[in-house]
Structure 1
Amino acid sequence: MPGVVTIHDVSTTRDGLLAAAAEAFDRDGYVRATIDDVCDRAGVTKGALYGHFSSKKALALAVLDRQAREWARVRERLQRVHRSPLQVLIDLGYAVNRDRAVVQRLLFQAPLCDDVAERQVARWTATVLDLLRHAENRGELRPGVDLVECADGVVAALVGVHLVAMAVDGPSGGARQVADVWRTWLPAVAQPSVYATLRITPR
């Protein structure tokens, strides 16, 4: 009916704003990206944007949350493909690396990083820890592996890859460094017979 705003319309507007914001933050970073630019990209008014998000910071947090949900869906797809939780972890690391440009711009640069980086890293660590527990239950890990310590170490190494790639390689770099993380870390925690079956390089 004319003049009636449906749930689909609201969802489409919000999704369009998030996509436009991701492009703006990716290109300009959090500080330089503007609400006007996001609205222009999405083809909406400021009033429409503020109907969904109270501020630029709220918009940025929603972009990060949307990316986190996408990575959760990637994990679910990988778990349907691979029986090994370690192989899921490897491929998830590459997926996060491949899609990390906006996250780099938002998460690892002030001022937004001061508020949200700890929460986001904790979320990543929980995901890695969960996959390690599944791997332990399947007998894929060496005896006596400290799962919490391993999860912290893996996330620290991958965050380091993000930071180095951002400073040196730009948004397209990082896959080689991720492979180096897996080659360094996995032999120390995986059963040799399991490690021999893992694909360390990207799909």
Structure 2
Amino acid sequence: MSTTRDSLLAAAATAFDQNGYVRATIDDVCDLAGVTKGALYGHFSSKKALAVAVLDRQAQEWVRTREQLQQTHRSPLQVMVDLGYAVHRDHLVAQRLLFQSPICDDVADRQIAQWTWTNHELLRAAAFRGELLDGIDLGGCAEAMVAALVGAHLVSMAIGDADHVNARIAGMWRAWLPTLARPEVCAALRLAAPRVRPR
């Protein structure tokens, strides 16, 4: 059941997407949600608090996406590949807030740390299953892969080419995975973006 808080978060995501964090106003959010400023301030103390709540909700959805993918795929590496696409596909507003709005830098640090930890855990699971080559620095690889994924999104946004970010991510996976995974494992992975959302 939708609540006033849910409506405000949805409206804020729309306002930030359409106008950017700096230009979006509390009035924009209230108009989109169909509520008064008093109702908004009953839930959020400021525009920054509203933006942080939008990012926190997106982070929770990303965790649910990971859980769904783990139920769908046996290979932790396939989960990792698909999560790289899910960050772009499902969370465009969050990307703009994280990577373009300095006011949310503290949240960006937290979410990037979460992405790095998740990749590290997936690599550990892949190593346990015997999917990785010997001698892989799991922590270093997790950090480098997140940096590469963030870079792919930043480049796409900087040049106004967000529609082609999936091609950049696929290229990254084609370059990285043969250096990590055993050849027979790598050959079995789908490196292109999934066609449908995980259920």
Normalised TM-score (structure 2): 0.93
C-alpha displacement of 1:123: 1.2
Aligned twin of 1:106: 97
Aligned twin of 1:160: 151
1:105-141 per-residue CA deviation (whole Å, 9 max, x = no partner) reads 2111232243322222111111111111111111111
Q: How does 1:19-34 map to 2 (within 5 A)?
A: 19-34=10-25
Aligned twin of 2:164: 173
Distance between the aligned counterparts of 2:116 and 2:174, measured in 1?
Answer: 19
Summarize the Cα distance change of 1:23–1:173 in structure 2 as closer, same or farther, 3 Å threshold.
Answer: farther
Distance between the aligned counterparts of 1:176 and 1:101, measured in 2?
Answer: 16
Normalised TM-score (structure 1): 0.91
Alignment gaps of 5+ in structure 2: 195-199
C-alpha displacement of 1:172: 3.1
Distance between the aligned counterparts of 2:63 and 2:106, measured in 1?
Answer: 22
Aligned twin of 2:197: none
Aligned twin of 1:133: 124
Alignment gaps of 5+ in structure 1: 1-7
Distance between the aligned counterparts of 2:155 and 2:75, measured in 1?
Answer: 29
Match 1:18 to one of 9, 15, 22? 9
The answer (yes or no) to whether the contact 2:133–2:182 under 8 Å persists in 1 is yes
Aligned length, in residue pairs:
194
Aligned twin of 1:148: 139
The answer (yes or no) to whether the contact 1:98–1:172 under 8 Å persists in 2 is no
Distance between the aligned counterparts of 2:87 and 2:102, measured in 1?
Answer: 22
Distance between the aligned counterparts of 1:121 and 1:134, measured in 2?
Answer: 20
Alignment RMSD (CA, Å): 1.3
Larger Rg: 1
